[in-house]
């Protein structure tokens, strides 16, 4: 278990200079008071932690979250301290989804999550849960294994055979792809003679199934000495036990050779070919082909549904057993709407796949959210969860597209009517500030429409991926290392506008908060902190102040 002293030691270290902060940021334990970093410059050094500016009396449900990787949080270093000090909760995106936890055999590795939640318990932090069910970042290998075809018993089938003793001496009528072959009299019988450097099909023209397992049996002999050669079954070279994977026909006696093979995956014709090199003339007496048909059958529709119900239960049970009621808010599903597929009523359909398992394809578009939310709720309560605290959100991106927003409401109405637990909508943002006045006016109008539409749903509303990119008048992104102070201030002002608009438009009792996508600048100037190019320290920028001002109502 991670010790709490490690967390406080991290804060002491960061306050000493790794993170450019004020004493107000880390005045959090009894007699400890951090010294301001001497490199800190006006006008931001006296600001407190961002979350401290929220008026909790006026906005009791408002919260501020930050997105981190589990590995970064568990290190308990810079990003961890910044998140815990300045934000109400943390989210971990795909790193707490089944795709990162469940392997192809169904083994669930919750070690990182367990450490994380133990530490969260110790410091009194909160976590917003990753999507429990989604189309991406799921345990696809596990689901593929669970729904794989079922093995069944099959009988051996005798296939085509050729006895060259029944052929007349003379030209060989089979396919000679290279070199020379003929029917000759040898050792008291008619046999197929394959000359040096010749590639000859000794049996062909039969149907082939790439999933079947074939046995090719033939009798061969070298003319005067042992002969090494290669074989190919319907496009697939099969290695033998001889030198360099060759097969060996003895020169002093007939040798029965048995080749176990499958055809090439794209094979359309059945054949068995001898590729003779320069080792000597090769004689073939007889060849027989038999096979075991594919011993798998697809699962029935009912079997697949039962299997997926098992997967739903198993994943929810494992997740909530580790959780122990510590995470109370989750995305129950994530990005289910397909804006490229339209129903007869004009609404967007859900996403569907023929290549991998999508929950809605098996459990039904109208039924899967009621089903998975029921199973997840039961698992949450089974392992110490307080049902009065549990909240499930439907997470979706691109909701500034009014048709997509309308389609989401359409599907939520269906799921609600069938008993799904859907407490809120987690709207993933994709915001841009533009120097072009007309473009920016359109950006603002779309944002306002989005917030109005979200407020009208009557659901709890959370905004996530709250990053804003900066574009110049030509529509080109301005990077963090190129942005000017004036441009940074314009960007900060738009951040403030978004925060104030959310707090004004979303009813106070329906506010579930906002989650920052990146706390610090990436290649884009999206952070509340910039990175000093020399020291690599995090340095507060105008966006930090904009958050503080907006949250306080200024």
CA dihedral (111, 114, 119, 125) in degrees, to 10, reads 130
**Do 64 and 516 meet the contact criterion of CB atoms below 8 Å apart?**
yes
Neighbours of 190 (CB within 10 A): 18
The pLDDT of residue 42 is 63
Classify each residue of 511-541 as buried b or exposed e, where b means 16 or more C-beta atoms within 10 Å of its C-beta.
bbbbbbbbbbbeebbbbbbbbeeeeebbbbb
Would you give the distance in Å from CA 244 to the centre of its chain? 41
DSSP per residue, 134-153: ESSSS-HHHHHHHTSPEE--
pLDDT tens, per residue, the chain with 554 residues:
233 333 444 343 333 333 433 333 333 333 323 233 334 556 788 899 999 999 999 999 999 999 999 988 988 888 898 999 999 999 999 999 999 999 999 999 999 999 999 999 999 999 999 999 999 999 999 999 999 999 999 999 999 999 999 999 999 999 999 999 999 999 999 999 999 999 999 999 999 999 999 999 999 999 999 999 999 999 999 999 999 999 999 999 999 999 999 999 999 999 999 999 999 999 999 999 999 999 999 999 999 999 999 999 999 999 999 999 999 999 999 999 999 999 999 999 999 999 999 999 999 999 999 999 999 999 999 999 999 999 999 999 999 999 999 999 999 999 999 999 999 999 999 999 999 999 999 999 999 999 999 999 999 999 999 999 999 999 999 999 999 999 999 999 999 999 999 999 999 999 999 999 999 999 999 999 998 888 788 899 999 999 999 999 77
The pLDDT of residue 270 is 97
Pairing of strands 282-292, 538-540: unpaired
> Is the C-alpha dihedral spanning 75, 81, 82, 85 positive or negative?
positive
- Of the candidates 381, 240, 375, the one whose C-alpha atom is nearest the C-alpha of residue 324 is 381
The pLDDT of residue 534 is 83
> Is the C-alpha dihedral spanning 314, 462, 451, 438 positive or negative?
negative
Tokens encoding 434:
């533009």
- Of the candidates 316, 450, 334, the one whose C-alpha atom is nearest the C-alpha of residue 394 is 334
Please give the Cα distance from 270 to 235 (Å, whole number).
Answer: 9
Alpha helix segments (H runs only) across 14-110 = 23-26, 70-75, 78-86, 98-101
Q: What is the 3-state secondary structure (H, E, C) of 308-343?
A: HHHHHHHHHHHHHHHHCCCCCEEEEEECCEEEEEEC
Output phi, psi for 445, to 5 deg: -65, -40
> Is the C-alpha dihedral spanning 349, 351, 355, 359 positive or negative?
negative
Would you give the distance in Å from CA 135 to the centre of its chain? 8
Q: Which residues contact 291 (CB under 8 A, 6 or more apart)?
A: 156, 157, 159, 209, 212, 213, 214, 215
Task: Tell me 518's DSSP state.
Answer: -
Task: Tell me 298's DSSP state.
Answer: P
Please give the Cα distance from 2 to 117 (Å, whole number).
Answer: 10
The pLDDT of residue 159 is 96
CA dihedral (218, 220, 226, 232) in degrees, to 10, reads -50
What is the chain's Cα-based Rg? 34
Neighbours of 373 (CB within 10 A): 25
The end-to-end CA distance of the chain, in Å, is 42
Tokens encoding 353:
């796949």
């Amino acid at each position: 278990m991670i010790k709490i002293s490690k967390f406080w030691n991290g804060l002491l270290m960061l306050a000493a200079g790794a993170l450019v902060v004020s004493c107000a940021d880390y005045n959090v334990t009894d007699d400890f008071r951090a010294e301001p970093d001497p490199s800190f410059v006006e006008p931001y050094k006296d600001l407190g932690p961002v979350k401290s500016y929220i008026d909790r009396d006026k906005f009791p449900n408002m919260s501020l979250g930050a997105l981190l990787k589990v590995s970064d949080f568990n290190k308990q270093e810079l990003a961890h301290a910044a998140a815990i000090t300045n934000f109400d909760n943390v989210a971990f995106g795909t790193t707490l989804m089944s795709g990162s936890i469940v392997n192809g055999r169904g083994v669930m590795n919750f070690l990182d999550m367990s450490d994380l939640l133990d530490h969260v318990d110790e410091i009194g932090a909160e976590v917003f849960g990753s999507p429990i069910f989604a189309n991406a970042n799921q345990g696809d290998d596990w689901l593929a294994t669970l729904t794989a075809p079922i093995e069944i018993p099959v009988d051996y089938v005798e296939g085509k055979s050729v006895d060259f003793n029944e052929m007349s001496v003379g030209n060989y009528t089979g396919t000679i792809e290279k070199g020379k072959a003929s029917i000759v009299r040898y050792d008291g019988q008619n046999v197929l003679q394959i000359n040096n450097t010749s590639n000859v099909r000794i049996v062909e023209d039969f149907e082939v199934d790439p999933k079947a397992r074939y046995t090719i049996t033939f009798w061969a002999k070298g003319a005067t000495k042992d002969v090494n050669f290669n074989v190919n079954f319907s496009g697939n070279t099969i290695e033998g036990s001889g030198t360099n994977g060759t097969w060996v026909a003895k020169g002093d006696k007939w040798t029965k050779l048995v080749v176990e093979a499958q055809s090439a995956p794209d094979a359309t014709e059945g054949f068995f070919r001898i590729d003779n090199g320069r080792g000597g003339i090769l004689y073939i007496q007889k060849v027989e082909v038999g096979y075991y048909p594919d011993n798998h059958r697809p699962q029935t529709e009912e079997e697949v549904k039962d299997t997926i119900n098992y997967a739903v239960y198993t994943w929810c049970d494992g997740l909530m057993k580790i959780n122990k009621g510590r995470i109370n808010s989750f995305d129950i599903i994530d990005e289910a709407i397909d804006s490229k597929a339209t129903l007869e009523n004009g609404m967007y359909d859900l996403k569907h796949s023929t290549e991998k398992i999508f929950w809605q394809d098996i459990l039904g578009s109208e039924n899967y959210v009621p089903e998975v939310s029921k199973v997840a709720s039961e698992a949450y309560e089974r392992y110490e969860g307080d049902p009065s605290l549990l909240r499930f959100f439907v997470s979706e991106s691109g909701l500034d597209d009014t048709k997509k927003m309308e389609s989401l409401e359409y599907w939520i109405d269906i799921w609600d009517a069938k008993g799904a637990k859907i407490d809120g909508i987690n709207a993933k943002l994709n915001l841009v500030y533009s120097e072009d006045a007309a473009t920016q006016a359109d950006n603002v109008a779309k944002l306002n429409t989005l917030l109005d539409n979200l407020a009208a749903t009557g659901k709890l509303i959370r905004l996530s991926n709250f990053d804003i990119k900066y574009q110049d008048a030509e529509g080109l992104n301005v990077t963090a290392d190129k942005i000017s102070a004036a441009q940074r201030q314009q960007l900060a002002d738009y951040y403030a506008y978004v925060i104030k608009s959310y707090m004004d438009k979303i009813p106070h009792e329906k506010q579930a908060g906002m989650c920052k996508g990146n706390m610090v600048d990436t290649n884009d100037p999206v952070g509340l902190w910039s990175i000093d190019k020399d020291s690599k320290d995090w340095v507060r920028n105008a966006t930090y102040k904009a958050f503080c001002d907006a949250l306080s109502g200024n």
